[in-house]
Chains A and B, each alone.
Chain A
């Protein structure tokens, strides 16, 4: 019946409108602008490959030396992988503890809420609050100096790779904990008992039963963490003392110089890279089981 079709369309339309305005349209706009030309003071609607050309300029010729684009991507990927491993290990451990070691549900909920308390403040404040802690005159250095462990303040605590990774892990471990915890909730206790009955040690149970059943949760958490880090420029910027390059930073800088077509082209490339990573992840693990 026509009427029911109209009603169905009306019911879906709010979501579709939001989707179009806030996702599809900006995406199309970005891709379009990435093919525009620009001069020092104006955007020139055009269809040119200039921006993509400039991104990969000399990239092939310079090999084995890396061009700027490759170097930046590599640097960002490096952070991505290190942070991914750390958040995975820490997140899995915490989720495991919450699920299997905590006996009552009340304590489980309370501890879970405790983990989310940091999110009650802004991301930026959570990040820059590390500075008074790690700085040359910060709490950590003063403490170590006072107990005599070191003679001079440690320079590498702040504005370094270390502080960037620390910040990322602190900010985003919860994104690993939640999906993995969710996966673990679906693991019945009787499965663990059956494994124990079959002669599996604690470690064997972990490797043969728990981890395989957590794969969807791990994949979802990984997607969260990887996507966020690949596009980040604030955390890397602030915690790296504006000395460390990132793909997001390139886009940000180009936008500041009003070189929107170049920024758009970089954004498109970044999108493609992240989509590739996610595609590979979903091929390894079937996420639909979780949804």
Chain B
């Protein structure tokens, strides 16, 4: 049997009583890829993961791994292994026995399963902790043991349920690197659920942005960041400013939009339904700030500085603008120091029409 770890979700739905958690989603996760399911609470990402694992019953649709239908198989019969959010290490067993647990359940003899468990502990660099108990380990160490325990059954797909949420920020970044390194070394399919878009962008080969039981976008991280498919993705990923205004006229494959006040915007595409409300976004780092003007051209607007936040290598400036809820502009430290900005200042924000993203 060819274990490559390709996951296909076909028309997958999940209902809890009358509540629809997942609405007919279709997704193909190629083998050997690091896939992140990301979205706010209640978007259905955890339900999806647990259904792939076999811990939740599928309400409708099919789950296919390596061309085999998984719907009627229990978690142990699937080529998957799950790493739980709180690690769920057995407190009464030492590290070796924890890792060897699934082998013991299969009836493997002690010597053999201890040997296999040891090799897995070596893989996660915990070979010195064989006799220790989970309550004697730090958070990061516990995670490595949980990882080893999941990997001991040699799965094709590793499922991780918010594995980094319980760690402090510095440890989170370090463990992130370890997970990525491990995935590349093992060439195993990882499906990682997280609510942090930063984590997803850093780790994933494929990002799946979910919202309210539906998939908003499936793409590589740069595409998700530069070409968000929907307003939700733009808002969720962060670093984007959302504008809404009315389409007025088309010329040369560009569309002019009129805002509520005096502002006018230029979209680099033609809009057929003139008069409709158009939503577009501009990245925070693609907006330029310049002194206040009297007359404003296309993609130039007046704003009021609300706050200035120093973030080290860059500065975050929050402004009030007419057709956006909030305008966030990020300036590099050098740019900011060249033209320092004060709170309460009136200022001009402008951007290139090619940096406008229309959904």
Contact = CB atoms under 8 A, between A and B. Distances in A.
Interface of A: 188, 190-191, 193-201, 204, 208-209, 212-213
B268 to A, nearest CB: 50
A199 B89 CA distance: 15
A204 B55 CA distance: 18
Interface in B74-117: 74-76, 81-82, 84-86, 88-92, 101-102, 104-106
Q: Is the interface of B mostly helix, strand, loop or mixed?
A: loop
Contacts of B90: 191, 194-195, 209
Contacts of B76: 196-200
A190 B105 CA distance: 17
Contacts of A190: 84-86, 88
A204 B85 CA distance: 23
Contact of B101 (A193, A195, A212): A195
Interface of B: 53, 55, 74-76, 81-82, 84-86, 88-92, 101-102, 104-106, 149, 153
Contacts of A193: 55, 84, 88
Contacts, number: 55
Contact of B91 (A197, A198, A208, A213): A213
A195 B90 CA distance: 9
Most buried by A among B86, B101, B104: B101
A199 B55 CA distance: 12
Contacts of B153: 198-199
Contacts of A194: 82, 84, 88-90, 149
A199 B88 contact: no
Contact of A198 (B55, B92, B149): B149
Nearest to A204: B105
A201 B53 CA distance: 16
A196 to B, nearest CB: 6
B105 A199 contact: yes
In the complex, the 3 A-B pairs of residues with the closest C-beta atoms, listed nearest first: A199-B76, A198-B102, A194-B88
Contacts of A200: 76, 101, 105
A176 B101 CA distance: 29
Contacts of A197: 53, 55, 75-76, 81-82
A199 B106 contact: yes
A212 B55 CA distance: 24
B86 A188 contact: yes
B6 to A, nearest CB: 21
B88 A212 contact: no
Contacts of B74: 196
Nearest to B104: A208
A231 B115 CA distance: 51
Contacts of A204: 105
